[in-house]
Amino acid sequence: MTSKERILVIRLAALGDIVLCFQAFHEIRCAHPDAEIAFLTMPAYAAFAKTMPWFNQVILDERPPAWRLDLWLKLVQKIRAFAPTRVYDLQGKNRQNILYMLLGGSRACEWSGAAPLASHPRLWPPLQNMHFTDFIAAQLQRADVPTQPSADLSWLQDPLDDFHLPSRYIVLIPSCAPGREYKRWPLSYYADLAQRLHREGTECIAIGTRADHGLVTTLRGHAPHLIDMTGRTTIPQLASLMRRSVAVVGNDTGPTHLAAALGAPTLALMSDRINPVWSAPKGPCVRWVQGGPMSMLSVDKVSLALKELLAHKA
């Protein structure tokens, strides 16, 4: 009797980065249907990760600093206790290379990723004009993981019975990751767009975390008809909200990537400091427009792009 495969998948980073790996997670599960698969990620995404259908368990990396040897040892012990037979490192940073060495390097298990002497090294450097999802797909192909049809995301939903939603609405995502304000389209522009849509008969709902409530309160001072749902939804509820929407317009941030992956018509507003060819949201109905800086991206241009997106969907 052969022992059961034990697969470790590593992806830390932020929500958008995890969403961009949904297809990879799906393909890894299809390649190892009977394996025990663990997902190594950050504590902030533990609850969300536990709802995903691809993993049997979640292991948390608290990302200890280099000098916290006790926490590094704790992380190594957790992974050794799981005893992976193969690791898919979809993060590919120096931290994961250090982890590879601490676990025993090439003697410990098969490893797909950036680590030196990995049994299944990733493609490097990325090909010109390659999107991150294609880069990860190329890594999996090198590890003999077959390409699969698009992942089924029907599991990612939750009832919205407690919310009184308008029959027709567009979701706005005016927030962005802390410290990356260069990704934020000006609030006054969001207010102008919301007012235009209201006059045309479409309401707007602003979403974000509790920390974004003050930002949206300011926005509602200029667009009083805007519905504030910051901090009121779980990720599965947010998914249901986006699926019902006419469209989603948002900065380059995690929920915008989620909307795109779910198939909601999504317009991403991208800074010129980001390469959209590499990291724009991916999905069946997505467009992006870019501003350099974001204040140069006019409301007229965004409105036109939104109309073109909806016309294309129709």
Write the pLDDT tens digit of every residue in 144-186.
999 999 999 999 999 999 999 999 999 999 998 888 899 999 9
pLDDT of residue 1: 36
* Mean pLDDT in residue range 180-206: 96
pLDDT of residue 140: 98
* Mean pLDDT in residue range 81-110: 95
- Residue 87 predicted with pLDDT over 50: yes
pLDDT of residue 13: 78
User: How is residue 224 written in tokens?
Assistant: 């009083």
| Average confidence score pLDDT of the chain | 95
Residue 314 confidence class, pLDDT cut points 50, 70, 90: low
**pTM of the complete model:** 0.95
Closest CA to 117 of 126, 125, 107, 132: 107
Write the pLDDT tens digit of every residue in 23-52.
999 999 999 999 999 999 999 999 999 999
Alpha helices per DSSP H over the chain: 15-19, 22-31, 46-50, 69-82, 94-102, 132-142, 187-199, 213-220, 235-244, 254-262, 276-279, 299-313
Domains, the chain, ordered by start: 6-142 (3.40.50.2000), 169-313 (3.40.50.2000)
